[in-house]
Structure 1
Amino acid sequence: MLFDNFTLILLGVVATATLLPAQGQGAVFFDWLTTAAIALLFFMHGAKLSRQAIVAGATHWRLHLLVFGCTFVMFPVIGVLLKPVLLPLLGEQLYMGVLFLCVLPGTVQSAIAFTSLAGGNVPAAVCSASASSILGIVLTPLLVAALLNMQADQAVSPLDSILSISAQLLLPFITGHLLRPLIGGFVDRNRAWLSKIDQGSILLVVYTALSASVVEGLWHTVSISKLAILTLVCCVLLALVLWLTAVLGRRFGFNREDRITIIFGGSKKSMATGVPMAKVLFSGAMLGPALLPLMIFHQIQLMVCAVLAQKYARQGEPEFNPEQTPAP
């Protein structure tokens, strides 16, 4: 339940962007640097993706359909249905951020890690998490356009969004994956320190995005009370989705290992994908409110799912019976 180092650094980045936001030529420099960091981030994601793992889990199509349905259908529907409650509580900008959170793809690394720890179907988790990340490059802009275009002043062109995301995210991803036969061994051997590139890219995007929003008056419109309400909303949203994924897994007759995969795959939202997408899809004053729900939800999901995975792991351990212990 303790905050990890990345979370503490992230809080430091938020404080730095609040006190020392990038402005003028500094903002231009960080914008270019962020674009390069995002391209490198998705290049590394592509290089890490193992085709063997995808093939191993690809045949479990019923599980994948349910995970995709939770990620790209159930989550957005919940966000829309909660509008009468959330809009008065959070205001329009933060509610748009919650909607953006709801249409993001799932995580890759943490979904697989928690599934493995809990004793779930790891090959299927690798397949569904990787496919969710790739599909999200197309589906997320379409869903953002569909949901935000409900607001007259938030018109978004889905074609422009897809083209922008394809150029900035999908092209580096495909390039990295095509080069995996050449660099895959190096990437697999050095995953520990290469993960620092992922984290560094996220931190850089958060600083650049929050700087732009702070300059536009982010903290004049988002009060401490609204942050507290937003945190509570994220807790309720996660609890609701965890319950629904567990119920759906049982209702469709999946075994224990598959249900674990569905819970951890269908309840997560990716910060590694969501932060770069927010930079592409939003601008100016909307960037900060778009990121705040994701940043809060991401930390809550990590803490809750860590505890939940350990609980599943204990339930899966065989009980100790002294009478069955062989004599020395």
Structure 2
Amino acid sequence: MRFLSNLRPDHFTIALLATAAVGTSLPATGAAIPLLKIIISSSIAVLFFLQGARLSRDTIIKGAIHWRLHLTVFAATFILFPILGLVLSRGLESVLAPGIALGVLYLCLLPSTIQSSITFTSLANGNVAAAICSASASNMLGVFLTPLLMSFFMHTGGTIPLSSIGSVVAQILVPFVAGHFARSWIGGWAERHRKLTGFVDRGAILLVVYYAFGEAVVNGLWHQLSPRDLIILLLLSCVLLALVLVIMTGASRLLGFSRQDEIAIVFCGSKKSLGSGVPIASILFPAAMVGAIILPVMLFHQIQLIVCAVLARWYAGRLDPVSH
């Protein structure tokens, strides 16, 4: 009975599923899309402003110089994932529709996400400072490494979209730094109102989930796949994510990381960025191929949001208050 009670979804999981259903049935269209993007960007900026206000200078410095954690995340993103992607893509070339197997490899070469990795780490009471440094570094390095790795594996040419670095700085780092410098004025208030930060965390996740599922509908994700391809991709995405989550959890514990560090490693090392994946794909591949290439990325992106949101709530429920 206790096991069954643990399987019962909490309110946030139910909200996630409801949001995904609403995004699929009532996606944002037309003039609502720019407005939704502004709301999402604003909620993320507020989130990182509050995170900056809550974290002490010592915590941030320790997170930035935590080289073992950053190397572990780097190994997951740019070594473990590419190996798995190369094996899976070659095994599925004769099974999936043309271009989709290549999309699976491309998915595995992408950098980690920033906003969701850090948001889930915060939601799970993990090492937020280390997650910010690790996820940001992964995303910036990915701007260079993803095209290079893709060129190495597939002999694909193309230029590197450096403009994505500016959006990372503007959306993530600037609010975080501003919040940290405002810590002397609002730090105490932010500590006393942790429920507000949690509300912003969950609100940002729900907005991203709604937008992601809506974009899938608008871009015809579900119409471009045959039922067979969709089932294979769903199973593949779930297996791929589960493998990486299990491997990174085991590696974190084997290497002696703390629970907070483990949380940051698991969430930063298991994500793949749709925001970086789409513009890079549009440059690396011919226009006729882009749709098939990004299909696995779009599907994996939505699965990782739901699975990791549930995992974050599980971590938060199991975290020893004394260690936090």
Partner of 2:196: 193
Measure the CA separation in 2 of the matches of 1:139 and 1:130: 14
Q: Which residue is 1:267 aligned to? A: 266
CA distance in 2, matches of 1:136, 1:77: 17
Q: Of 181, 186, 198, which residue of structure 2 is paired with 1:183?
A: 186
SS in 1 for 2:28: coil
Distance 2:270 2:301 in 1: 7
Corresponding residue SS for 1:158: coil
Provide the residue aligned with 1:323 in structure 2: none
Unmatched 5+ stretches in structure 1? 117-121, 314-328
Give, in angstroms, the shift of residue 154 of structure 1: 9.5
1:202 and 1:177 map into 2 onto residues whose CA distance is 23
Which one has the largest radius of gyration?
1
Question: Which amino acid in 2 is paired with 1:26?
Answer: A
TM-score (norm 1): 0.68
**Mean alpha-carbon deviation: is it higher for 226-235 or for 99-108?**
99-108
SS at match of 1:141: helix
Residue aligned with 1:268, SS? helix
**Shift of the alpha carbon at 1:308?**
9.0
| Residues in 2 aligned to 1:146 and 1:72: alpha-carbon distance in whole angstroms | 11
**C-alpha displacement of 1:293:** 0.9
Sort the Cα spacing of 1:250 and 1:212 in 2 relative to 1 into closer, same or farther, 3 A. Answer: closer
Among 18, 23, 26, which residue is 2:24 paired with?
Answer: 18
Q: What is the CA–CA distance in structure 2 between the aligned matches of 1:235 and 1:9, rounded to whole Å?
A: 21
- Does 2:102 correspond to 1:103? no
Match of 2:287 in 1: none
**Corresponding letter in the other structure for 1:218:** L
> SS where residue 198 of structure 2 aligns?
helix
Q: Distance in 2 between matches of 1:175 and 1:272?
A: 26
**Cα pair 1:71 1:104 within 8 Å, conserved:** no
Residues 156-189 of structure 1 deviation map (CA, whole Å, 9 limit, x = unaligned): 6331221232233332232223322322222222
Match of 1:4 in 2: 10
| CA distance 1:206–1:60, change in 2 (3 Å) | closer
The residue aligned with 1:129 is: 131
SS in 1 for 2:117: coil
Q: More deviation in 302-311 or 159-168?
A: 302-311
Percent identity over paired residues:
33
Aligned to 1:29: 35
In the superposition, the TM-score normalised over structure 2's length comes to 0.68
Is contact 1:94-1:290 (8 Å) kept?
yes
Structure-2 separation of matches of 1:153 and 1:201: 35
Taking a change above 3 Å as real, the CA distance of residues 145 and 187 of structure 1, as seen in their structure-2 partners, is farther
* Cα deviation digits, residues 203-250 of structure 1 (max 9, x gap): 323333443442232220245554543343234324433554466568
Task: Say yes or no: does 1:207 pair with 2:213.
Answer: no
Offset of residue 16 of structure 1: 2.2
> 1:146-157 counterparts in 2 under 5 A?
146-147=148-149, 157=160
Higher mean C-alpha deviation, range 174-183 or range 60-69: 60-69
Between 154-163 and 277-286, the greater mean CA deviation after superposition: 277-286
* Letter aligned with residue 108 of structure 2: L
Q: Distance in 1 between matches of 2:17 and 2:32?
A: 21
User: Structure 1 residues 153 and 181 mapped into 2: Cα distance closer, same or farther (>3 Å)?
Assistant: farther
2:225 is aligned with 1:216: no
> What is the aligned residue count?
301
- Separation (CA, whole Å) in 1 of partners of 2:279 and 2:143: 10
Distance 1:208 1:99 in 2: 22
In the alignment, the residues of structure 2 paired with residue 282 and residue 220 of structure 1 have an alpha-carbon distance, to the nearest angstrom, of: 20
Judging changes above 3 Å, is the alpha-carbon distance between structure 1 residues 301 and 174 closer, same or farther for their aligned structure 2 residues?
same
The 5-angstrom pairing of residues 297-312 of structure 1 reads 297-301=304-308
Q: How large is the Cα RMSD of the aligned pairs? A: 4.4
2:235 corresponds to which residue? 232
> Is the 1:107–1:269 Cα contact (8 Å) retained in structure 2?
yes
What secondary structure sits across from 1:82 in the alignment?
A: helix
Q: String of CA shifts for 1:120-150, please: whole Å, max 9, x gaps.
A: xx7xx45533431332342343344445667
**2:299 is the counterpart of 1:295:** no
